[in-house]
Structure formats: C-alpha cells, structure tokens
Amino acid sequence: MDWDLVLASAHHLAVFTLVALFAAEFALLRPGLAGARIGQLARIDAAYGAVAGVVIVVGIIRVIFGAVGWEYYVGNHAFWGKMGAFLVMGLLTMPPTMAVRRWVKAGEGIAEYAPPAEEISRNRRFLHLQAAVLVLIPIFAAMMARGYGS
C-alpha cells in the first residue's frame, strides 16, 4: 500500500473539510444571528476545532512518515510560512470561539436570544482576517510542491 498517498489524501480531505466548516461559520456569524442558529454555530465551531486538530495530526504523521522525509520540511521556508499561517489562523479563531461559547451560555433558556450586534461585528472581523490568512496556505503548499523554499 502506498502510505504516502493515503497520508496525502487524508491530509487534503481534512483541509477541505476545514475550509468547508470555516465557510459555514463565516455564513452563520453575521448580523441577525439569534436563537437556534447560535447553537448551530457553536457545533460548527467545535467541529472546526476538531478538524483543525486532525489536520495537524495527519500533517505531522505525513511529515514524519511521508515519502519526502522530514528533512525536506524542516529546511523549507515555504513549509514554515504555511505553518505560521496556520498558527495565525488558530490564534484568530480564539476570540470568535470564546464569544460563541459566551453567547450559548447567555442564551440558555431564552429561545430568541441575540448577541449584541457590535459583538457579532467585532468577531466577524476576525473571520475576515482568517480568510485573508487562509489564502496564504495553498500558496505556500504550491510553492513547496514545486521545490521552492528549500
């Protein structure tokens, strides 16, 4: 069995799933968020975090056991750019995640609870920043695939 192919496929599927969850979160976290949508957003946000963990674990396994060898990655500037962008995305997701958790708690037992519009707006800005950083990840990946950064 070609384990490198399995690892690469798993990594790509996890990344595409992550992007899909990000898009769903982006669509839900907007003005007018209220009621049951907050719970839906919380579940999507939790899945986003879990899938990010899968991306990291599969990525580490791929670096260690993949066909290219860990030495290629450790010495590649594009790889570190990609890791830096992923880290920045992770940091940018923290304020919205904490806000969503607060909103879920505040809305317990209140069917039509709506977070303050200013909080929604502030946390939506974090999603816009994440989207900007997300664009860098496939660029760095394409650079690596073509041998740049070594």
Per-residue tens of pLDDT for the chain, all 150 residues: 799 999 999 999 999 999 999 999 999 999 999 999 999 999 999 999 999 999 999 999 999 998 888 999 999 999 999 999 999 999 999 999 999 999 999 999 888 999 999 999 999 999 999 999 999 999 999 999 898 888
> By C-alpha distance, which of 81, 74, 76, 41 is closest to 60?
74
User: 130 with 22: CB under 8 angstroms?
Assistant: yes
CB atoms closer than 10 angstroms to residue 127? 20
Q: What is the pTM of this model?
A: 0.91
Q: At what angle do helices 117-134 and 77-106 cross, to 10 degrees?
A: 160
**Which one-letter amino acid corresponds to residue 38?**
I
